[in-house]
């Protein structure tokens, strides 16, 4: 018996150690993602203007006010870091910061009004680089009303000013002697232990602003300074966080001149907060960067969905504001009640008749928000820029209906990557294509995209395996499995399509095991016997491959609908935590209430730290069952959602989350072909197929028109398809828009007719039976395949509006398509495009 007990104890000890080791390993991995490369630049102080130059650009920074100018040598266009059209002193800053006080009130400071005008910045230079270190403060001299003054300091003050002023100071300070033992002094001794051995003066409460200003003037006049006050606090052993200090932040910005333009970086390690009761929450970088010259027909480009442009002439006073890569649903306050598209590319731009620029957020994009502000009144200057969350924050009510006030929560760590923006000046243009082609070239040059030979004119089919419906008997609930598709039937559908000439079919099998549509964590792989067997899957893969197609199996690592015993998923270890410490859930959007409701299909959000191990588990099972490289792997939500995790032990911001996601995709890519949905930028490098790519922008009132910059960048590099035609909310339009964007067609289907009759808990449009759509698939393929084959390897060079409802897309091989969304025929140049139809012309 003793032996058994001893054995159990040993095993328990071993398991505890193992688990501790695992935690440690995970934590250290996470820290690897947080590391920024150390700045090894040898900076030297620059007291005069700094000039940087290369073959393409000339950069000149003024040591007087921190402004810079950038001259594009190709065309002589001059760009400046501020706005000359700025009203008053707005629009003259290179950086703007938002910060919160202890009561969660938000304030703003900028590098011009809160530093440059006081001369509160230093300039450093290095080869092709220049660094400005700002000390941002609310006034040139902070109001100096020390909470506590030591007796020695008071003596010095007394000796430096006249008796009248000194008496004035003493009116508002009470002297406490270390020798006194009255209750008031004892209480003060508890608060300020320094009083136990030294006399001190404590300021009176409730001073008016006027009195504070007078006191401050007197103290400055006596030669006392803020820096000395901070030193005194240290001598008195008083923690700065116990004293209400005025807000003061140190922020640096580094400009580096490259052949691609100027790169502006905020080194996170240089950011210092001098007053503990304030939180520096976000930093906007180059908010007023503008063209220094006369121009017309000005537009901003924003990467909203497929892309959108904002006319500066038509949209006065409008503001566009949106996070890159979709909202962070881990932070409740970022949830939107509007149906908007993801900003899939971390890029923005400006174009006009004379000058244009393209900008790419090269650091911290996932924790950044894009703002495009059109000047209309005299209050604000316009500009397009990115703001970076230095700390993520959320305002949370402790309990609805409770009298306790809302509390602001902040992430423990600062942003894990230095915020960085590249601005590349371009020539004048009347079209956004100047930006899209520059962007494509840049992304290819950086290795984010690659013009691939493997891209094909595909048709995408997705089949859903099964779902579970919650039923109950005598109040005891149980899950009933409902088969939606069987592999046999899918194979029959595919063979039918092949017989009818539809080749290059890319099929994604979704929810064929592991709980079906309401699946468990994606850390394993199985096939529900009602759906099919591994041999049937292998046969399907073979049938597809023989006809130029490919089979993908979807595994959703991002969420888990349930937590079951021995499923390798632990809510406490693997679920994301929000800033208030609660678990993160994803829910269905309630269409009537415009809110994500906890009652609507809630699922746990998996922490990015678990992605890798879950992917490994899935891949191991898949390899064991099907074999290696037999099928491709799809992780749809990887390109659609990006979550942070504020677990106290292992905090992961969105930048780290994006890197972790990309690393897992790389790992999957090393083991076969990879497919994702939507196509957020960080997934592009390791993705071969994108489904559900946004064919539209969000059509916000601030936007003038939709454009196709996303596809002008992607075409020929990645296979992509738009929204599923069978589950689209407006399928008629989706076909036309797919043709316009050069997107393959995508159909989400099931094989069992009427299988969804018993499913009433789904809030989205459910995939229909394949038999209803076979003719449509064949017809569309016949009409489009030739054109797609002809254009798939060409570059999509231009997409423009011809009339109100007619758009033309041109390819580098001379092919083009004209799409007519209107109800009347369109005729031009002897070409008639029928209403709600398209005209296709193949190229060389």
User: Is 565 one of the binding residues for another protein (CB under 8 A)?
Assistant: no
Q: What are the start-end ranges of the E strands in 127-223?
A: 129-137, 148-150, 173-176, 200-203
If phi over 0 gives left and psi between -120 and 50 gives alpha, with beta otherwise, what is residue 507? beta
Q: Which of residues 629-688 bind another protein (CB under 8 A)?
A: none
Residues 402 and 332 sit within 8 Å (Cβ to Cβ) = no
User: Is 63 one of the binding residues for another protein (CB under 8 A)?
Assistant: no
Query: Alpha-carbon distance 638 to 681, whole Å?
Result: 11
User: Is 835 one of the binding residues for another protein (CB under 8 A)?
Assistant: no
User: Is 405 one of the binding residues for another protein (CB under 8 A)?
Assistant: no
How many alpha carbons fall within 13 Å on the CB side of residue 31? 7
User: Is 715 one of the binding residues for another protein (CB under 8 A)?
Assistant: no
Q: Which of residues 759-788 bind another protein (CB under 8 A)?
A: 759-766, 768-769, 772-773
Which residues 6+ apart lie within 8 Å of 419 measured at CB? 265, 266, 268, 283, 285, 361, 363, 364, 368, 386, 388
- Of 323-331, 402-410, 453-461, 556-564: span binding another protein (CB under 8 A): 402-410
Q: What are the start-end ranges of the E strands in 14-80?
A: 44-45, 50-53, 57-61, 68-72, 78-80
Least Cβ distance, residue 181 to another protein (angstroms): 34
Binder to another protein among 330, 634, 734, 748 (CB under 8 A)? Answer: 734
Least Cβ distance, residue 473 to another protein (angstroms): 7
- Quick one: tokens of 43? 């900076």
- Of 101-109, 368-376, 666-674, 754-762: span binding another protein (CB under 8 A): 754-762
User: Is 581 one of the binding residues for another protein (CB under 8 A)?
Assistant: yes
For residue 731, give the H/E element and its range.
helix 731-741
- Of 48-56, 184-192, 195-203, 691-699: span binding another protein (CB under 8 A): 691-699
- Per-position DSSP letters for 429-487, written without gaps between them: -SSTHHHHHHHHHHHHHHTS----S-----EEEEEE-EEEEEEEETTEEEEEEEE---H
Binder to another protein among 472, 499, 598, 844 (CB under 8 A)? Answer: 472
User: Is 473 one of the binding residues for another protein (CB under 8 A)?
Assistant: yes
Q: Is the CB of 49 or the CB of 732 nearer to another protein?
A: 732
From the list 284, 264, 298, 253, the residue with the least C-alpha distance to 70 is 264
Backbone angles phi, psi at 397, to 5 degrees: -90, 135
- Of 59-67, 211-219, 468-476, 662-670: span binding another protein (CB under 8 A): 468-476
Residues 453 and 319 sit within 8 Å (Cβ to Cβ) = no
From the list 745, 793, 681, 742, the residue with the least C-alpha distance to 454 is 793
User: Is 57 one of the binding residues for another protein (CB under 8 A)?
Assistant: no
The DSSP output letter for 583 is B
User: Is 400 one of the binding residues for another protein (CB under 8 A)?
Assistant: no
- Quick one: tokens of 459? 């048709």
Which residues 6+ apart lie within 8 Å of 732 measured at CB? 836
User: Is 42 one of the binding residues for another protein (CB under 8 A)?
Assistant: no
Residue 566 CB burial class (10 angstroms; 0-12, 13-18, ≥19): exposed
From the list 406, 296, 289, the residue with the least C-alpha distance to 353 is 296
Backbone angles phi, psi at 633, to 5 degrees: -120, 135
User: Is 602 one of the binding residues for another protein (CB under 8 A)?
Assistant: no
Q: Is the CB of 394 or the CB of 417 nearer to another protein?
A: 394
User: Is 413 one of the binding residues for another protein (CB under 8 A)?
Assistant: no
Least Cβ distance, residue 442 to another protein (angstroms): 29
Mask 421-460, x = binds another protein (CB under 8 A)?
----------------------------------------
Mask 607-626, x = binds another protein (CB under 8 A)?
--------------------
Which residue is associated with the tokens 């602001």?
408
Query: Alpha-carbon distance 413 to 367, whole Å?
Result: 13
Binder to another protein among 561, 756, 807, 838 (CB under 8 A)? Answer: 756
Q: Is the CB of 332 or the CB of 567 nearer to another protein?
A: 332
User: Is 710 one of the binding residues for another protein (CB under 8 A)?
Assistant: no
Query: Alpha-carbon distance 667 to 565, whole Å?
Result: 28
From the list 234, 252, 288, 274, the residue with the least C-alpha distance to 121 is 252
For residue 101, give the H/E element and its range.
none
Query: Alpha-carbon distance 148 to 158, whole Å?
Result: 16
CA end-to-end span of the chain, whole Å? 84
User: Is 572 one of the binding residues for another protein (CB under 8 A)?
Assistant: no
Binder to another protein among 235, 591, 828, 831 (CB under 8 A)? Answer: 591
Q: Is the CB of 637 or the CB of 724 nearer to another protein?
A: 724
Residues 307 and 710 sit within 8 Å (Cβ to Cβ) = yes
Binder to another protein among 481, 498, 539, 600 (CB under 8 A)? Answer: 600
Least Cβ distance, residue 460 to another protein (angstroms): 17
Query: Alpha-carbon distance 247 to 524, whole Å?
Result: 51
Q: Is the CB of 176 or the CB of 773 nearer to another protein?
A: 773
Mask 334-373, x = binds another protein (CB under 8 A)?
---xxxx---------------------------------
Backbone angles phi, psi at 647, to 5 degrees: -60, 130
Residues 682 and 661 sit within 8 Å (Cβ to Cβ) = yes
Three-class SS state of 85? coil
User: Is 700 one of the binding residues for another protein (CB under 8 A)?
Assistant: yes
Which residue is associated with the tokens 């049938």?
543
Q: Is the CB of 358 or the CB of 741 nearer to another protein?
A: 741
Binder to another protein among 1, 4, 183, 404 (CB under 8 A)? Answer: 404
User: Is 746 one of the binding residues for another protein (CB under 8 A)?
Assistant: no
Q: Is the CB of 148 or the CB of 736 nearer to another protein?
A: 736
Residues 422 and 262 sit within 8 Å (Cβ to Cβ) = yes
Binder to another protein among 281, 644, 661, 698 (CB under 8 A)? Answer: 698
Residues 72 and 80 sit within 8 Å (Cβ to Cβ) = no
How many alpha carbons fall within 13 Å on the CB side of residue 544? 28
User: Is 313 one of the binding residues for another protein (CB under 8 A)?
Assistant: no
Residues 319 and 702 sit within 8 Å (Cβ to Cβ) = yes
Query: Alpha-carbon distance 376 to 312, whole Å?
Result: 9
Q: Is the CB of 680 or the CB of 698 nearer to another protein?
A: 698
Q: Which of residues 211-240 bind another protein (CB under 8 A)?
A: none
Q: Is the CB of 105 or the CB of 472 nearer to another protein?
A: 472
Least Cβ distance, residue 770 to another protein (angstroms): 11
User: Is 314 one of the binding residues for another protein (CB under 8 A)?
Assistant: no
Least Cβ distance, residue 758 to another protein (angstroms): 9
Binder to another protein among 699, 774, 778, 802 (CB under 8 A)? Answer: 699
Using CB under 8 A, count the residues that bind another protein. 58
Least Cβ distance, residue 590 to another protein (angstroms): 7
User: Is 401 one of the binding residues for another protein (CB under 8 A)?
Assistant: no
Residues 640 and 692 sit within 8 Å (Cβ to Cβ) = yes
User: Is 407 one of the binding residues for another protein (CB under 8 A)?
Assistant: yes
Binder to another protein among 334, 563, 567, 733 (CB under 8 A)? Answer: 733
Mask 151-170, x = binds another protein (CB under 8 A)?
--------------------
**Backbone CA torsion sign across 629, 631, 632, 638:** negative
Residue 395, strand partner residues: 408
- Of 6-14, 382-390, 534-542, 700-708: span binding another protein (CB under 8 A): 700-708
- Of 24-32, 156-164, 442-450, 692-700: span binding another protein (CB under 8 A): 692-700
Query: Which stretches of the chain bind another protein, using CB under 8 A?
Result: 337-340, 396, 398-399, 402, 404, 407, 409, 472-476, 580-581, 590-594, 600, 695-696, 698-702, 723, 726, 728-734, 737, 754, 756-757, 759-766, 768-769, 772-773, 804, 823
């Amino acid at each position: 018996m003793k032996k058994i007990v001893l054995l159990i104890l040993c095993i328990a000890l071993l398991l505890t150690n193992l688990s501790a080791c695992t935690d440690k390993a995970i934590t250290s991995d996470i820290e690897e993602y947080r590391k920024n490369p150390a700045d090894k630049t040898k900076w030297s102080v620059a007291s005069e203007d700094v000039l940087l130059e290369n073959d393409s650009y000339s950069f000149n920074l003024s040591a007087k006010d921190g402004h810079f100018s950038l001259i594009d040598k190709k065309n002589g266009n001059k760009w400046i870091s501020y706005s000359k059209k700025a009203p008053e002193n707005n629009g003259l800053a290179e950086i703007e910061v938002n910060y919160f006080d202890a009561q969660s009130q938000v304030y703003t400071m900028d590098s011009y009004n809160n530093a440059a005008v006081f001369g509160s910045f230093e300039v450093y230079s290095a080869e092709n680089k220049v660094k400005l270190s700002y000390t941002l403060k609310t006034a040139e001299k902070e109001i100096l009303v020390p909470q506590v003054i030591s007796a020695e300091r008071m003596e010095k003050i007394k000796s430096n000013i006249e008796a009248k002023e000194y008496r004035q100071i003493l009116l508002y300070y009470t002297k406490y002697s270390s020798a006194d033992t009255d209750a008031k002094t004892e209480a003060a001794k508890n608060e300020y232990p320094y009083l136990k051995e030294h006399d001190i003066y404590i300021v009176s409460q409730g001073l008016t602003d006027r009195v504070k200003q007078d006191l401050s003037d007197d103290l400055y006049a006596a030669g006392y300074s803020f820096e000395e006050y901070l030193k005194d606090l240290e001598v008195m052993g008083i923690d700065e966080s116990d004293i209400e200090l005025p807000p003061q932040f140190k922020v640096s910005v580094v400009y580096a001149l490259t052949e691609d333009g100027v790169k502006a970086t905020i080194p996170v390690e240089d950011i210092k907060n001098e007053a503990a009761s304030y939180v520096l929450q976000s930093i906007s970088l180059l908010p007023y960067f503008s063209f220094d010259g006369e121009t017309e027909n000005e537009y901003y480009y924003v990467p909203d969905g497929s892309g959108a442009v904002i006319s500066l002439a038509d949209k006065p006073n409008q503001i566009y504001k949106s996070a890159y890569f979709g909202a962070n649903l881990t932070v409740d306050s970022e949830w939107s009640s509007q149906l908007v598209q993801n900003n899939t590319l971390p890029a923005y731009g400006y174009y006009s008749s004379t000058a244009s620029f393209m900008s790419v957020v090269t650091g911290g994009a996932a924790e950044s928000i894009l703002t495009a502000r059109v000047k209309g009144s005299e209050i604000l200057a316009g500009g397009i820029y990115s703001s970076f969350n230095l700390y993520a924050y959320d305002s949370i009510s402790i309990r609805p209906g409770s009298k306790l006030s809302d509390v602001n929560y902040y992430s423990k760590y600062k942003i894990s990557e230095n915020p960085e923006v590249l601005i590349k000046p371009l020539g004048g243009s009347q079209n956004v294509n100047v930006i899209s082609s520059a962007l494509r070239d840049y992304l290819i040059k950086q290795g984010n995209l690659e013009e691939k030979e493997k891209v094909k004119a595909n048709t995408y089919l997705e089949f859903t395996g099964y779902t579970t419906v919650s039923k109950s008997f005598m109040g005891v609930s149980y899950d009933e499995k409902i088969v939606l598709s069987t592999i046999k039937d899918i194979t029959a559908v595919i063979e039918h399509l092949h017989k009818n000439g539809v080749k290059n079919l890319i099929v994604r099998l979704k929810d064929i095991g592991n709980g079906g549509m309401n699946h468990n964590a994606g850390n394993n792989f199985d096939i529900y016997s009602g759906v099919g067997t591994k041999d049937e899957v292998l046969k399907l893969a073979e049938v597809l491959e023989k006809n130029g197609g490919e089979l993908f199996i979807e595994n959703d690592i991002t969420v888990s609908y349930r937590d079951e015993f021995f499923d390798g998923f632990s809510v406490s270890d693997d679920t994301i935590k929000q800033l208030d410490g609660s678990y993160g859930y994803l829910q269905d959007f309630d269409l009537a209430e415009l809110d994500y409701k906890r009652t609507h299909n809630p699922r746990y959000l998996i922490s990015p730290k678990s992605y890798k191990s879950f992917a490994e588990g899935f891949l191991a099972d898949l390899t064991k069952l099907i074999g290696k490289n037999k099928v491709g792997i799809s992780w749809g939500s990887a390109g659609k959602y990006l979550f942070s995790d504020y677990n106290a032990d292992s905090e992961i911001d969105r930048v780290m989350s994006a890197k972790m996601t990309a690393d897992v995709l790389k790992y999957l890519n090393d083991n076969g072909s990879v497919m994702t949905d939507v196509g957020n930028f960080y997934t592009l490098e390791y993705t071969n197929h994108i489904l559900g790519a946004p064919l539209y922008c969000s059509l916000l009132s601030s936007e003038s028109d939709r454009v196709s910059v996303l596809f002008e960048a992607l075409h020929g590099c990645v296979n992509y398809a738009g929204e599923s035609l069978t589950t689209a909310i407006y399928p008629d339009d989706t076909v036309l828009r797919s043709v316009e964007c050069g997107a393959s067609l995508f159909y989400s289907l099931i094989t069992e007719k009427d299988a969804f009759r018993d499913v009433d808990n789904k809030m989205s449009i459910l995939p229909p039976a394949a038999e209803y759509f076979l003719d449509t698939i064949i017809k569309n393929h016949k009409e489009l395949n030739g054109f797609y084959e002809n254009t798939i390897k060409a570059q999509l060079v231009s997409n423009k509006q011809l009339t109100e409802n007619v758009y033309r897309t041109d390819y580098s091989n001379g092919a083009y398509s004209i799409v007519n969304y209107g109800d009347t025929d369109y005729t031009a140049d002897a070409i008639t495009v029928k209403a709600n139809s398209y005209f296709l012309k193949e190229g060389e």
